[in-house]
Amino acid sequence: MPVSSPVPAGSRQRPVRHGAARLEDWIHDVRERWARRRGHVPTVVPYTGYGSTEWVRVFCRVLLAKPASAEGTSKRRRRRREQGIRGWRSFTSVPVGDVRVTIEVGGERIEVLADRGGVVDTRVPADLEPGWNRAVLQVEGSEPVEAPIWVVAPDVHFGIVSDIDDTVMVTALPRPFVAFWNTFVLDEHARSPTPGMAVLYERLVRQHPGSPVVYLSTGAWNVAPTLTRFLSRNLYPAGPILLTDWGPTHDRWFRSGREHKSDNLRRLAEEFPDIRWLLIGDDGQHDEELYASFAAEHPERVAAVAIRELSVGEAVLAGGRSKAEQHGADVPWVSASDGATLADRLADIGML
């Protein structure tokens, strides 16, 4: 996903776009005109960000939604909007591309352009204290909303990067149907947490105070609010969820989920050069291969790799197990079928 940049005085020139991207843009334009005729207005849906005491990475998405009217209704709609639009409505909502979004954080104010899908992913300079902070986001004519930001202290040297599907959440569906089912059918109440993983994560953050927990998934931004509620309801530590935007890019038919994960791992390594990451995933997708490759490139940035082993049934539904065999001798590597056993294995190598 392209990173948003400050808006220049003039208009931004779009890159030459793939035919599929031009078709998608045309459909968005038609739907946007129709929604605006019905009185819908641009509205910011905020996502959790992260950063250091000198900068923050801010995420949000701009969608068309009904304006709030009465005071009571306004509060309810604003709260619902900040939580996000649930289920299939999150995919039928109309994104607003190339709209100006104002960000205020730590006394700094910056204006950026959302991308084609209405997504803002931008880095803002800011002087902030470690811990939870807030960024205020707004588009012209709408009410401001707040996005939580986790600021990492300079003396923190440990962090967690975690996959979501089949790692913290049990899907138990054939892989081609997981995205459809989780997005259009289920809400956070119907999803099953992986046994023992929430307790493992809580023990890790208690053992390493102030450590960031970053959830890295190939899912779409549309499901970020639902995933956030799932993590909170099942007592996982709060943290940013790094997702992607489905559909064509300006130069290809579909976005690469593996590239999305690899790029964000490398970015985290560059942004926090003093942090060593515990990489947590499962053996049903490409997590082992991705983590092994990252550990080979940046062994000094990896504290350990923890892999949840799928059951035979889960592995069949996931399309088989990954076949990564070279884990790298310089990085500790543990695996188990549940969080409790993973905790024991991590304790054996001094991580807990």
Percent of the chain with pLDDT over 70: 66
Q: pLDDT tens digit string along 232-271?
A: 999 999 999 999 875 544 444 445 568 899 999 999 999 9
| pLDDT for residue 276 | 97
Query: Is 21's pLDDT higher than 70?
Result: no
Highest mean pLDDT among 20-29, 96-105, 217-226 belongs to 96-105
pLDDT at 82 over 50: no
Per-residue pLDDT band for 10 (boundaries 50, 70, 90) equals very low
Please determine, for residue 87, whether its predicted confidence score (pLDDT) is greater than 60: no
Give residue 283's pLDDT.
86
Q: Are 152 and 210 in contact (CB under 8 A)?
A: yes
pLDDT in tens, 137-153: 999 888 899 999 999 99
Q: How confident is the model at residue 175 (pLDDT cuts 50, 70, 90)?
A: low
- Return the higher-pLDDT residue of 75 and 135: 135
Give the separation between CA 265 and CA 277, rounded to whole angstroms. Answer: 10
The beta strands (E) that lie in the chain are given as 41-51, 55-65, 100-105, 108-113, 119-125, 131-139, 145-151, 158-162, 169-170, 192-193, 213-220, 241-244, 276-282, 302-308, 333-336
| Res. 84: pLDDT tops 60 | no
Structure confidence at residue 43 (pLDDT)? 87
Going from the N-terminus, what domains does the chain have, and what CATH number goes with each? 19-151 (2.60.40), 158-348 (3.40.50.1000)
**At 64, is the pLDDT very low, low, confident or very high (cuts 50, 70, 90)?**
confident
Please work out, in degrees rounded to the nearest 5, the angle formed at the alpha carbon of residue 78 by the alpha carbons of 76 and 83: 95
Which helix (DSSP H) or strand (DSSP E) does residue 346 occupy?
A: helix 339-348
Question: Exposure of 253 by Cβ count < 10 A (0-12 exposed, 13-18 middle, 19+ buried)?
Answer: exposed
Give the tens place of pLDDT for each residue, 201-227: 999 999 999 999 999 998 888 888 888
Query: Which pLDDT score, from 0 to 100, does residue 97 have?
Result: 83
Count Cβ atoms below 10 Å from residue 343 Cβ, excluding itself. 22
pLDDT in tens, 114-125: 988 889 999 999
Helix 257-271 with 287-297: angle, nearest 10 deg: 30
User: What mean pLDDT is predicted for residues 104-113?
Assistant: 94
| Predicted local confidence at residue 335, as pLDDT | 94
pLDDT of the residue at 96: 86
- Position 88 pLDDT exceeds 60: no
The per-residue pLDDT for 165 is 85
In terms of average pLDDT, the best of 24-28, 95-99, 158-162 is: 158-162
- Cβ proximity of 145 and 78 under 8 Å: yes
What's the pLDDT band for 197 if we cut at 50, 70, 90?
Answer: very high
